């Protein structure tokens, strides 16, 4: 058996994809999946 690891389910603010994160999401803060996170980061650093 795998050792139980505490994860939280987050919903991406961009594409509504559900994904697991190891840190508790902050209520009211937008959260992005890995793909949207990197896309946003690239756009912001132009």
| Residue ranges in contact with Zn ion by CB under 5 A | 12, 14-15, 17, 33, 36
CA distance 5 to 39: 28
Least Å distance between CB 4 and Zn ion?
26
Least Å distance between CB 18 and Zn ion?
10
| Residue 38, both tokens | 């990197």
Q: Are strands 8-11 and 18-21 parallel, antiparallel or unpaired?
A: antiparallel
Least Å distance between CB 27 and Zn ion?
18
- For residue 24, the 8-state DSSP code is P
Choose between 7 and 37: whose C-beta lies nearer to Zn ion: 37
């Amino acid at each position: 058996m795998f050792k139980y690891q505490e994860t939280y389910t987050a919903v991406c603010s961009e594409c509504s994809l559900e994904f697991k994160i190891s840190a508790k999401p902050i209520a009211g803060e937008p959260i992005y999946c890995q793909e949207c996170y990197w896309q946003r980061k690239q756009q912001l650093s132009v």
